[in-house]
Amino acid sequence: MSHDIYETIRKTPDSQLRVMILQHLKEFFPNDPFSYGSFSEIAGNSEMRARFSEPEGNIIFAGENTSVDFNAFVYGAFMSGKRAASQVLKMLEN
């Protein structure tokens, strides 16, 4: 990202950023009326979950199923989000 984009994001109020982000997410991930709140499961052991918690190039995975210790729990989702955010920041630093 260019420096101008960072400045725009920094100066935009959080409430406006939230609306912009949600609009983009709806474009990329339209609501699936047939999912009915379903979820995915990463089959396998903790080693596989640990593998999914590592970046793959510039793609970062998050979600409770990427948590080795707290998979299938909201806390696992929360902690994976914190981990993913740290990974994004580390990528941006490099």
Domain boundaries, the chain: 3-34+41-93
Q: For the residues of 25-62, what is the DSSP string, one character each?
A: HHHHS---TT-TT------S-HHHHHHHTS-BTTB---
Strand partners of residue 38: none
Tens of pLDDT along 57-87?
999 999 888 888 888 888 999 999 999 999 9
* Lookup result for tokens 């995915």: 40
Question: pTM for the full model?
Answer: 0.55
Query: What is the Cα–Cα distance from 9 to 92, expressed in whole angstroms?
Result: 15
Tens of pLDDT along 10-32?
899 999 999 998 898 888 877 77
At 34 the pLDDT is 72
